[in-house]
A and B are shown apart, each in its own frame.
Chain A
Amino acid sequence: MTESKNMTRRRLLQVLGIGSGAAATLTAASSKLGNEDLRMTMLDALGDMFQNHFKRMDKNEVQETLARMERKYAAQYQKDIKVSANGALPNTRYGYALNLSKCKGYRACVQACVAENNQSRDSEIQYIRVVELPHGTYNLEHGNHYYEGEVPKPDHTYFPIQCQQCDNPPCVQACPVEATWQEPDGIVVIDYDWCIGCRYCQAACPYWARKFNWNEPQIPVEEINPETHYLSNRPRPKGVMEKCTFCLHRVRQQRMPACQEACPTGARIFGNLLDPQSEIRQVLAHKNVFRLKEDLNTEPKFWYFTD
């Protein structure tokens, strides 16, 4: 099946070759003028336009794509940005548990997440939403999303919500072009270069975890995190979806997600669900945990508990 798809695609590329032939003539002309950069830029633009689906790329294609991306980012931000494409570590399935008794609503996780994952600053894309709730209810409709001033306020609880990395993700099912999928380590990712920006996944997500780039993302150069991954925090184009990836680029290097590291109260427990010795497994075994909107059968890998 994949074979035949590849064949069809190659045929398309041959057809498109006529168009790119014209472009190549142009680029050849420009190289005669000694403008090697321009030639490169034009070839890169074509490469961008006809870039394959990430899961259909072979190893060489991935390497070429990453190199092209790094050239593009260097030109765009005047800064060396590394893009890797490390696969999932063997025997990993990541899970998160959050202690609601410890969360004080500081939003340190939100700040750390934005710094780590290169979200657009002017449109204020954030993957974590902390909802302030009056004591006595977990009905989110009574919550305040935009609380200000000193926290924790008396008689209030704080409820941080981000992508729940569902094992049965409605967003993946909804996507008309397979631009989003679940990796072997259980993380739901997006190919930003394949997403067509229809936002059907955003309608399908019960956790409001998916965010759209309504404009060209703006990040001050000095604030860009240059260590990036194809499937997580590399700079995104406008008109595509993005979401929390449990800091995939960090956790695949055996590091903790940025939000976990940033939390000053130790409310966040992250780990490998397949490792019986992991802290997350201890929490799941010994705490009375619950999951958000469990009635929707999305099977989140994100649990909440209280002391």
Chain B
Amino acid sequence: MTAFRFIKDCTRAAFTGGSPRFVAWVGSLFAVSLAGVWAYSYQLNHGLIVTGMSDQVSWGIYIANFTFLVGMAAAAVMLVIPAYIFHNQAARSVVLLAEGVAVAACIMCMLFVTVDLGQPLRFWHMIPGLGRLNWPQSMLAWDVIVLSGYLALNISIPWYITYQRYRGRKADIRVYFPAVLISIFWAISIHTVTAFLFIANPARPFWNTALLGPRFIASAFTAGPAFMVLAFRLIDRETSFKVDPKVMRLLALITAISLQINLFMVGVELFKEFYAPTAHSASAQFLFFGIGGENALVPWIWGALLIECIAVVILMVHKLRQNENLLAIACIFAIVGIWIEKGMGLIIPGFTPTPLGEVFGYFPTWTETLVSFGIWAIGFMVFTVLARVTIMIETGRLKLGTLGESQVLE
């Protein structure tokens, strides 16, 4: 029954005894998520017609966020590899937090797919045996499997480690190392499969390029570590947990390299689309320059490339990168740039023009925007709670028997 007590103690520790700033943070996330729930109930009642999507542009900001977040989930591997394979102590000290990011991102991915469904109550049609999962034919079926598996891996490894520590034992690496190895390959696979989901459609020439796979991985390893730099800095400031500066250097380096590889691949795509444009270049034309008056994405994509370039400069110049605030700006630019580029900048041009040559506008509605913010708020809440409990256990403040009936932490 210790496991039960573990859950109880963790839950209690997560939600009690926070500082006023912590309460305000979680409280505002909760409020935003409630707004999202309200917007979603409105969408359920009226159907997806309350979104900006149409038969022409049949996926929008939900799938854009989903695609971006699969990358965030996969990026945890950038700390898992140095921590468990290269026994890098700095990475080791924060790897559980990185896995927390993966869990939160996975949950957000699942929520973003769910809110995009026309018939969410029929989700059981996907459960093998009860339903009819079209595996191995459908890439979406693959995605369901790899995402659930990745979520399970990223819950079970930290679970085992923190549970041992909670009981005052040392986690035995021989127990969890096989799971770590699997999770490394699995991390690459979730994002590769998500790329395949798009590549698999010859009907959509904009997506039907092998380069999408490597681009997804490079952009994931840009946005994920950049997010962790920001999150760890906040944790370092706001909690008693001190993040080793070596971690920040490692993450900044990974971001810097990945972002340049990503930009290189964007350049290759631009060359291919515009040196000898074919009928299949219309989507890129739409994205970068607009077609027939439809040019909503043009300022976004150029803005994204611009801030990504600024981020590269900051990250590559030693003096600039060492300035904490400039580093934070570079990370924000990298995240926002990638979010635009592989979110809306990937999904919408895939549908524009349609296979019948129609150029049709898409703009997310308030309902869609609120639902999206709601899901992000839920994700941040999940990460906050996981990080808080993990830190308590890591610092030895939450142990079996330390949490008395009425004892309040901090």
Contacts and interface: CB of A to CB of B under 8 A. Distances in A.
A147 interface: no
Contact of B130 (A8, A179, A214): A8
A114 to B, nearest CB: 15
A124 to B, nearest CB: 10
Contacts of B48: 197, 212, 214-215, 239
Interface in B61-102: none
B119 interface: yes
Interface string A165-190: 00000100111111100000000000
Interface stretch (B13-21, B201-209, B228-236, B239-247): B201-209
A15 B197 CA distance: 34
B203 A141 contact: no
B329 interface: no
Contact of B129 (A9, A125, A205): A9
Contacts of B157: none
Interface residues of B, number: 49
A5 B138 CA distance: 19
A68 B132 CA distance: 23
A194 B118 contact: no
Contact of B47 (A205, A206, A239): A239
A174 B144 contact: no
Interface string B135-159: 0011111001000000000000000
The main secondary structure of chain A at its interface with chain B is: loop
A198 B122 CA distance: 11
Given A177-B134, A194-B125, A196-B117, A203 B47 contact: no
A216 interface: yes
A84 interface: no
A142 interface: yes
Interface stretch (B265-273, B308-316, B349-357): B349-357
A153 interface: no
A177 B358 contact: no
Contact of A206 (B49, B53, B137, B203): B203
Interface in A45-67: 49, 53, 56
Interface in B38-68: 46-49, 53-55, 58-59
Given A143-B356, A196-B126, A207-B356, A296 B118 contact: no
Contacts of B201: 170, 174, 203-204
Contacts of A211: 55
A199 B122 contact: no
B203 A204 contact: yes
Contacts of A129: 356
B58 A203 contact: yes
Contacts of A206: 202-203, 355
Interface of B: 46-49, 53-55, 58-59, 113, 116-126, 129-134, 137-141, 144, 197, 200-204, 279, 282, 350-351, 353-358
Given A174-B138, A195-B119, A199-B118, 14 more contacts: A53-B125, A53-B132, A141-B279, A170-B202, A176-B134, A176-B140, A176-B141, A179-B125, A194-B122, A198-B113, A198-B116, A200-B197, A212-B48, A212-B58
Interface of A: 4-5, 8-9, 12, 49, 53, 56, 123, 125, 129, 131, 139-143, 145, 161, 170, 173-179, 194-200, 202-208, 211-216, 237-240, 293, 296-297
